[in-house]
Amino acid sequence: MFLSSSISFAREEGSLIDKRNDRYYALQIIVGIGLLLLTAYMSLTNGAFDITLKDVLKTLLRIDTQHDYDLVILEFRLPRIVIALLVGMGLGMAGTVVQSLTRNNLADPGILGINAGAGMAMVIFLFFFQGKVKGTGWAAILAMPIVGLVGGLGAALLIYVFSQKEGRLDSQRLLLTGIAIASGLSAVTVFITLKMNAKDFEMVAVWVSGSIYNANWKYIISILPWLILLTPVLVWRSLVLDVFQLSEESVRGLGAAVDKEKAILLLSSIGIVSACVSVSGGIGFIGLMAPHIARQLVGITHRRLLPVSAIVGALLVMISDFIAKMAFAPVEMPVGVVIAIIGVPYFVWLLYRNKHRR
């Protein structure tokens, strides 16, 4: 009953609220993909070792291959671009879901502590097991998303418990609780890293700040199953997310199993975020900025909002990674630092705007 009611209601709401036609939406998708390809081209051809487009195409098409080009393009730059694409897409979609479920446009997987929980679990994993399992081995890399998921779920459970008000999840408490728990988990992470030797501490410090400079194809294989399995769940429930824009009483009045639907969507989002954190570290603000930008482009209907949020998130990470690689070459900044430089003023602007809207 809920699905039929919610689907019909969401379609009516979508037709009334979102007046942008399908042609405009298709144009946004085409432009977004074009920008992704342009950014990928810039990242492939520019760096400490510049490569022409002709040489890139010859390498990718396996025509007159050269070892140097194979190494730079296939082992260093292309995996890094693919990881940036996948992480940005995942964080963008997860941020959209979190904001919709909490009805709070300032919510973000990083701000809510999910990133911190996944990151803490990853640091504990590296601290206890890096001497027993090689960091580049398949066992370690494939286990990383699972470890991140455990940490993300643990953080989410803590947030859920402390955000209850009269037996229900309070959206206002959720944000404050998430910030507090994220701070506590980050402190534990720092404490653990201080117990590591100097070499491992440096590696973990860069990873925690958000970095994809050491991306490889094994990381891509480890994150892909999570995105392939969980992204369709979010898209499938996009009409349910439209319904959740109403008050909780109205949603329950439609016959919705509110807690069940929230659990499905939150667990899927946490799984995606945890997989992303396991290969990229603590990249924040993407889940905050991408949904806001996407809403300005295509409105609030989630069947359009989720794909555009994914594209915007991918663009933000890819462009930020290009800046991190080129701005201070040959020294390289963590991509998380570049995104934070953009994200903090954006967050302050959102706070200011929301304050003056009330």
Judge contact between 185 and 48, C-beta under 8 A: no
CA distance 145 to 87: 12
Q: How confident is the model at residue 32 (pLDDT cuts 50, 70, 90)?
A: very high
Whether residue 123 has pLDDT greater than 50: yes
Number of domains composing the chain:
1
Whether residue 334 has pLDDT greater than 80: yes
Q: How confident is the model at residue 95 (pLDDT cuts 50, 70, 90)?
A: very high
H helix intervals, the chain? 2-17, 22-45, 53-60, 67-69, 78-102, 114-129, 138-162, 171-194, 198-208, 217-236, 238-243, 248-253, 258-280, 286-298, 302-326, 335-357
pLDDT of residue 347: 80
CA distance 313 to 156: 22
Judge contact between 306 and 235, C-beta under 8 A: yes
Average pLDDT of the segment spanning 196-201: 75
- Read out DSSP for 95-146? HHHHHHHHT-TT--TTTTTHHHHHHHHHHHHHHHHTTTS-TTSHHHHHHHHH
Neighbours of 103 (CB within 10 A): 15
The CATH code of the domain that includes 8 is: 1.10.3470.10
Write down the pTM of the prediction.
0.86
Summarised one tens digit per residue, pLDDT across range 33-77 is 999 999 999 999 988 788 888 888 888 888 888 888 888 899 889
Q: How confident is the model at residue 356 (pLDDT cuts 50, 70, 90)?
A: low
More confident residue, 271 or 329: 271
Range of the domain at 57: 2-357
